[in-house]
Amino acid sequence: MGFPESLNLFAEIERPKNCDVEYLDYNGEKKLLKAEGLLATCIQHEMDHLEGILFIDYLSKLKKNMIIKNRRLIGYMYST
């Protein structure tokens, strides 16, 4: 769940460096994956997609409002 790249919106998001994922394998057996580093970041990012969470949901109200304001400005600039 992101924004079009043409809007050029970017914000650094802090995430835990590690995460544990419980899942069922192909045979229905419960497994545990202990992920760290880039894999942990990717898993958390994909979970956000599944849960409908946008990156702006992690930002402070001030930063979120700045992005929304910039988005409106960009939309106005492209509509004229």
Q: Which residues are catalytic?
A: 46
**Which residues neighbour 23 within 8 Å (Cβ) at sequence distance 6 or greater?**
30, 31, 33
Structure tokens at 24: 């069922």
- DSSP H/E element including 38: helix 37-51
CA dist 2 and 56 (Å) reads 9
CA dist 73 and 79 (Å) reads 10
